[in-house]
Amino acid sequence: MRENTIKGELKIPQHIAIIMDGNGRWAKKRLMPRSFGHKNGMERMIGLMEHAFELGVNYITVYALSTENLKRPKEELDGLFDLIRNHFKQYFGRVCERGVQLRAIGDVSLLPEDCLQILKEAEAETAQYKGKAINVAVCYGARAEIVRAANRAMEKGETLTEESFSRLLYTEDQPDPDLIIRTGKEVRLSNFLLWQAAYAELYFSDKMFPEFSDKDLDKAIEEYSRRTRRFGKTDEQL
Ligand code: FPP
């Protein structure tokens, strides 16, 4: 599962995960409300997904809302929920109609009922697609995901291996992310995919998410291509 496909001189990551940070600062600089930043962020996210699938990426995970983000002011949260209500179907439909499965990862039961239904419908409509997927992390926290997996294992009374534990996570049947990108100048993982990130290459961009272009994604992939992934081995063993 870890092999990369080659496109020209580039190694294309199978799975890219993105921490889409900086929507708020991007909007503030333009004297606009944070919701304007999130709307533009959502449009950029869809553009990046289309570009990444065209390059040959098969799995994309986006951090749309963390469990901690749920403590944000009601007005901002309502803006994000309105994006799901008003735009989710149309935007994600555009990407998923090319045979991409959609999966909502996180404690989606914390969402307003109508938003939850929209995500569930999108999951049901795309469930038949295999080999390409978008994971939308909403009400997501990696520690909570790990605790959930541990509880599921205890219920089954299983002795765990790393592989069997991985299958209890939201990303159960998917390869781990090869490349994790964070925009917005911060250099941390913020409780995102902590188990799955064990051997991911990390890439940090100073750009705010709404201005992270397709070309910026190409640059991240070029940088990824130049890195040697040893998975704990020596250069000679590769
Ligand atoms: C972090 O930037 C971004 C978020 C909390 C929301 C990200 C959401 C989207 C890009 C689109 C929405 C997608 C769905 C499915 C609803 P920030 O607001 O923390 O920015 P800041 O650090 O500049 O304040």
CB 84 within 8 A of CB 119: yes
Please indicate whether residue 21 is annotated as part of the active site.
Answer: yes
Q: Whose CA is nearest to atom 6 of ligand 1?
A: 64
Give the position, in ligand 1's atom list, of the atom nearest the Cα of 66.
5
Residue 232's pLDDT band (boundaries 50, 70, 90)? confident
CB-based contacts of 87, cutoff 8 Å, min separation 6: 39, 42
Is it the case that residue 131 has pLDDT exceeding 70? Answer: yes
Is it the case that residue 1 has pLDDT exceeding 60? Answer: no
- Does 25 contact ligand 1 (Cβ within 6 A)? yes
Q: What strands, in cross-sheet order, belong to the sheet with 15-19?
A: 101-105, 133-137, 59-63, 15-19, 179-182, 201-204
Is it the case that residue 133 has pLDDT exceeding 50? Answer: yes
Q: Are strands 201-204 and 5-7 parallel, antiparallel or unpaired?
A: unpaired
Is it the case that residue 90 has pLDDT exceeding 60? Answer: yes
CB 53 within 8 A of CB 5: no
Convert the pLDDT of each residue in 212-228 to its tens digit: 999 999 999 999 999 98
Residue 5's pLDDT band (boundaries 50, 70, 90)? low
- Does 24 contact ligand 1 (Cβ within 6 A)? yes
Is it the case that residue 163 has pLDDT exceeding 50? Answer: yes
DSSP conformational letter for 1: -
Q: Cα(34)–Cα(134) distance, rounded to whole angstroms?
A: 25
What Cα–Cα distance (Å) separates residue 188 from each residue in 1, 79, 98, 144? 26, 25, 33, 18
| pLDDT at residue number 7 | 61
Which residue is it, tokens 């940088």?
Answer: 223
- Does 18 contact ligand 1 (Cβ within 6 A)? no
| pLDDT at residue number 2 | 46
